Amino acid sequence: MSQSHEYDDSILLETVKSKVESPKRYQVVLLNDDYTPMDFVVEVLQRFFGLNEEKAAAIMLAVHHDGKGICGVFSREIAEMKVQQVNEFSRVNNHPLMCQLEVA
Ligand code: TYC
């Protein structure tokens, strides 16, 4: 095998490596506001993120104090679906609660 073939093999290896990198994870981030009732936020966290009341209340309070907080980390498809569900649920209940997606 010649020098150039060996060189080509190493390039091929690098390409394969980059293709098997683990998929990106996406954070669903909840934003604070001055109007959404705390109980509603706790309900959202239980309903859409499967949290028990204690964990949901802890995240709600963290968001209330810090301005925003992470509800969970998911694949892009699941994170996008949860953001849509939460924002739609908030809209139909006439609360300004917002959540958004951030790359982890
Ligand atoms: N800040 C709201 C209040 O005082 C409660 C709240 C918490 C709203 C978290 C949004 O993501 C939120 N009623």
For residue range 9-67, what is the model confidence (pLDDT) as tens digits? 665 566 656 678 888 999 999 999 999 999 999 999 999 999 999 999 999 999 999 99
Q: Where do the structural domains in the chain lie, given as residue ranges? A: 34-103
Residue type, 8: D
| Per-residue confidence band for 72, with pLDDT thresholds at 50, 70 and 90 | very high
Which parts of the chain are beta strand (E)? 26-31, 68-74, 98-103
Residue nearest to atom 2 of ligand 1 (CA): 34
Mean pLDDT on 55-82? 98
Q: What is the pLDDT of residue 1?
A: 40
Assess whether the C-beta atom of 30 lies below 6 angstroms from ligand 1. Answer: yes
Number of H helices, E strands in the chain: 4, 3
User: Is residue 14 within 8 Å of residue 78, measured between CB atoms?
Assistant: no
Q: What is the pLDDT of residue 88?
A: 98
Assess whether the C-beta atom of 67 lies below 6 angstroms from ligand 1. Answer: no
Global model pTM greater than 0.75: yes
Burial class from Cβ neighbours inside 10 Å (0-12, 13-18, 19+) for residue 22 reads: exposed
Mean pLDDT on 84-89? 98
Q: What is the pLDDT of residue 82?
A: 98
User: Is residue 28 within 8 Å of residue 104, measured between CB atoms?
Assistant: no
Q: What is the pLDDT of residue 20?
A: 82
CATH of domain 34-103: 3.30.1390.10
